A and B are shown apart, each in its own frame.
Chain A
């Protein structure tokens, strides 16, 4: 069965400091991993994805994520946080061999607060 865990409900970071939002996953086959961001009163917005290849994936707005197969993790990172990065972040996984049907599994979300 597929699952995604975001162990932190909330992450607080000062503007200019690096940020990390954690995600671990479980799938039967090869994972396809995604990060989405949700601003207030908006839908989810795609940030980046890992399909195959380089373990370090770069995405929108300076975000990047590192795929670690041995730790089954896909943590989201940014070298220098901005106040405007404050939002709700979702990690998601699809099983590459299709055992989960057409379902993308989303984590519960991590709220990021960046303080000026």
Chain B
């Protein structure tokens, strides 16, 4: 256990659905991240939050909408997704956004878009 939990673990949705991914960290960290992991591609950073403020938005399509209500919780709201959005979505946290801090990852949500 890394102290970072994600729900649901698996999600199948149609292109017209709206769903949300949830991440919670129990480590007292101040930074949280969303990554997309696709087969045979490097990890893609999507969003970075520091003390509940979004500090990095890595050219992610607007059909992905993050929300960070407090430093322990992070959501990724999904709507009108495309089949190419099918991937493993990983949440991570770190003490803060300083470059020397390692990240702690959740187990991921395996998303399939039909």
Given the complex, which residues of B lie within 8 Å of A104, measured CB to CB? 45, 103
Q: How many contacts between A and B, using CB within 8 angstroms?
A: 58
Q: Which residues of chain B from 26 to 75 have a CB within 8 Å of any chain A CB?
A: 31, 40-43, 45, 48, 50, 55-56, 58
Instruction: Please give me the residue from chain B that is nearest to A103 by CB atom.
Output: B45
Contacts of B40 in A (CB 8 A): 108
Interface of A toward B, CB cutoff 8 Å: 32, 34, 36, 41-46, 49, 51, 90, 94-96, 98, 101-109
Of residues A36, A94, A96, A102, which shows the largest number of chain B Cβ atoms within 10 Å of its Cβ? A102
Complex contact A94–B43 (CB within 8 A): no
Beta-carbon contact of A34 and B102 below 8 Å: yes
Beyond A45-B2, A104-B45, A106-B43, whether A51 also contacts B56 by CB under 8 A is no
Query: In the assembled complex, which residues on chain B have CB atoms less than 8 Å from the CB atom of A43?
Result: 2, 4, 6, 90, 92, 105-108
CB contact under 8 A between A103 and B56, given known A90-B43, A94-B99: yes
Interface size class of B (residues with CB under 8 A): 20 to 34
Whether the Cβ atoms of B58 and A103 lie closer than 8 Å is yes
Q: How far is the CA of A51 from the CA of B98 in the complex (A)?
A: 12
For A94, what are the chain B residues with a Cβ–Cβ distance below 8 Å?
99-100
Q: Which of B42, B50, B102, B104 contacts A49 (CB 8 A)?
A: B102
Decide if B102 touches A46 in the complex (CB within 8 Å). yes
In the complex, which residues of chain A have a beta carbon less than 8 angstroms from the beta carbon of B102? 34, 46, 49
Interface residue B97 (Cβ < 8 Å from any Cβ of A): yes
Q: Which residues of the other chain, B, contact A102 by a CB distance below 8 angstroms?
A: 31, 48, 50, 55-56, 97
